[in-house]
């Protein structure tokens, strides 16, 4: 009997290996729960490696099995960024002990300049979402302390924030900034206001966003860099890539999260300009490239790993057609080398920057697209990307970024967003629906889910 069964199984394996790959992956060929479980296993591999070689520091360096701190003292970037994933994955004991470690050891009373944007999206966002998931008020107290220390960043003539702020002295520096760093603060600062009852955070971040929007060009585009003291643009190249990307994301999401009508209007005006001047059709594929913010004239045809967030934003705003088309382009970019490069020229399909930083955006978009369309295609896409990540980026101590996606040479870095975003979106793509309902949360740009607990 056992022999017969094994023979049958062997026959099944041989038979299926001759099927074309589309048929092999189609429908329920794989069980979502098994993939979700596997993602959780990989999360634990990365997290336990961090614990073994970098505990208490900002990041793991996977190749040298050591660590990296961003500043003179650690701000526990990886634990804070990764905490809500543990709650979502049902790793409650691990999450609770990590939470206690954070509460005991994280101090913002440090004489050091930090990047307002990075600290806001990773730490403020992480503390707020984990507070909502755990109910532990000490996390909100930490968020309140951090938010208060970041406030001096907004003390410029225009109300747009300086890039760096000293957590102890309130000193500021970095007057040349960009739309992403100015306009990606309202989800976190606004939520802090809603949860503490102190309106100052919302007002400062909202003013910064509006001041930036008000400086858009007559045709509705923003540039790549701006002086926040004078309000003058210092680089007029417009695009949706790194340095601008999440400014657009927050216009849409702040409308949803806070029911803020100004954000709705700013989003709709901005999206129209982006679609008019930045969208590009090449060989019948949809891409978004570069244009001059004043003339709308195309100045570049580059697209990359960071741009791949845009299908998620498009489908969240109801534009299924563009969202699906653009995701196909991102996936084409991924499959050129089995891992996406940082930037390609979509006209020639040549690589402009060949590294891969373990970025999440293409998976984030696959997750949104699956949620809103229910198409298995996006599960298959996520599974393929997950398998590629394991094949090319896994090391015996966590996961490593790639220096070069063609040679697959690794680099000694595992950014905290690999746990906070890349593995979270992969997990949510395959996890049971009850894990989290995308209709009831808004993710900040670092994938920290914020629940609208204040709304009636």
Q: Is 342 a catalytic residue?
A: yes
Catalytic residue (choose from 58, 245, 380, 415) = 245
- Complex with ligand DMJ: residue 74 or 416, whichever CB lies closer: 416
- How many angstroms separate the CA atoms of 11 and 15, rounded? 6
Sheet containing strand 225-227, edge to edge, reads 176-177, 225-227, 233-235
Question: Smallest gap, in angstroms, from Cβ of residue 246 to ligand DMJ?
Answer: 4
Min. distance of Cβ 269 from ligand DMJ in angstroms? 22
Catalytic residue (one of 59, 302, 307, 361):
361
CB of 295 to ligand DMJ, least distance (A): 28
Nearer to ligand DMJ, 58 or 377 (CB): 58
Query: Least distance from C-beta 11 to ligand DMJ, angstroms?
Result: 45
Residue 272 region, left (φ>0) first, then alpha (ψ -120 to 50), else beta?
A: alpha
Using left for φ > 0, alpha for ψ between -120 and 50, and beta otherwise, residue 252 falls in: alpha
- Is residue 245 among the annotated active site residues? yes
Give the CA dihedral 246, 247, 253, 255, nearest 10 degrees.
Answer: 180
Nearest to ligand DMJ of 306, 343 (CB atom)? 306
Complex with ligand DMJ: residue 312 or 369, whichever CB lies closer: 312
Respond yes or no: is residue 31 known to be catalytic.
Answer: no
200/441 with CB nearer ligand DMJ: 441
The residue from 59, 249, 302, 342 that is catalytic is: 342
- Residue whose C-beta lies closest to ligand DMJ: 445
Nearer to ligand DMJ, 377 or 421 (CB): 421
Rg (CA), the chain: 22
**Length of the chain counted residue by residue:** 456
Residue numbers of the site for ligand DMJ (CB under 6 A)?
Answer: 121, 246, 306, 359-360, 417, 421, 445-446
CB of 359 to ligand DMJ, least distance (A): 4
Out of 37, 118, 136, 328, which one is annotated catalytic? Answer: 118
Would you name the residues annotated as active-site residues?
118, 245, 342, 361
């Amino acid at each position: 009997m056992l022999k017969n069964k094994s023979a049958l199984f062997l026959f099944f394996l041989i038979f299926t290996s001759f099927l074309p790959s589309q048929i092999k992956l189609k429908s329920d060929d794989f069980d979502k729960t098994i993939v979700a479980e596997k993602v959780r296993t990989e999360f634990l591999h990365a997290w336990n490696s961090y614990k073994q070689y970098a505990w208490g520091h900002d990041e793991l360096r996977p190749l040298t099995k050591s660590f990296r701190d961003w500043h003179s003292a650690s701000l526990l970037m990886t634990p804070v960024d990764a905490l809500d994933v543990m709650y979502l994955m049902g790793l409650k004991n691990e999450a609770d002990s990590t939470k206690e470690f954070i509460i005991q050891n994280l101090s913002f009373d440090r004489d050091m300049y930090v990047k307002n944007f990075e600290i806001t999206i990773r730490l403020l966002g992480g503390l707020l979402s984990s507070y909502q998931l755990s109910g532990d008020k000490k996390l909100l107290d930490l968020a309140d302390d951090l938010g208060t220390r970041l406030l001096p960043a907004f003390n410029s003539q225009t109300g747009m924030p300086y890039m760096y702020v000293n957590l102890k002295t309130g000193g500021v520096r970095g007057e040349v900034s960009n739309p992403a760093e100015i306009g990606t603060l309202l989800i976190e600062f606004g939520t802090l206001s809603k949860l503490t009852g102190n309106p100052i955070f919302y007002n400062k971040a909202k003013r910064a966003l509006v001041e930036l929007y008000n400086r858009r060009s007559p045709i509705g585009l923003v540039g790549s860099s701006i002086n926040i003291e004078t309000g003058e643009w210092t680089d007029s190249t417009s695009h949706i890539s790194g340095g601008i990307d999440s400014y657009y994301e927050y216009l849409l999401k702040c409308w949803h999260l806070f029911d803020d009508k100004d954000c709705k209007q700013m989003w709709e005006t901005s999206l129209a300009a982006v679609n008019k001047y930045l969208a590009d059709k090449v060989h019948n594929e949809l891409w978004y490239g570069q244009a001059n913010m004043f003339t709308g004239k195309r100045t570049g045809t580059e697209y990359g790993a960071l741009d791949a967030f845009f299908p998620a934003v498009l489908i969240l705003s109801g534009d299924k057609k563009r969202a699906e088309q653009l995701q196909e382009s991102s996936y084409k970019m991924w499959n050129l080398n089995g891992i996406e490069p940082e930037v390609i020229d979509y006209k020639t399909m040549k690589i402009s920057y060949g590294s891969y930083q373990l970025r999440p955006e293409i998976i984030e978009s696959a997750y949104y697209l699956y949620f809103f369309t229910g198409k298995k295609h996006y599960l298959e896409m996520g599974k393929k990307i997950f398998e590629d990540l394991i094949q090319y980026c896994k090391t015996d101590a966590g996961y490593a970024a790639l220096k070069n996606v063609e040679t697959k040479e690794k680099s000694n870095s595992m950014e905290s967003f690999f746990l906070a975003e890349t593995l979270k979106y992969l997990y949510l793509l395959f996890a049971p629906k009850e894990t989290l309902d995308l209709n009831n949360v808004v993710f900040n740009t670092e994938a920290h889910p914020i629940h609208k607990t204040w709304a009636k």
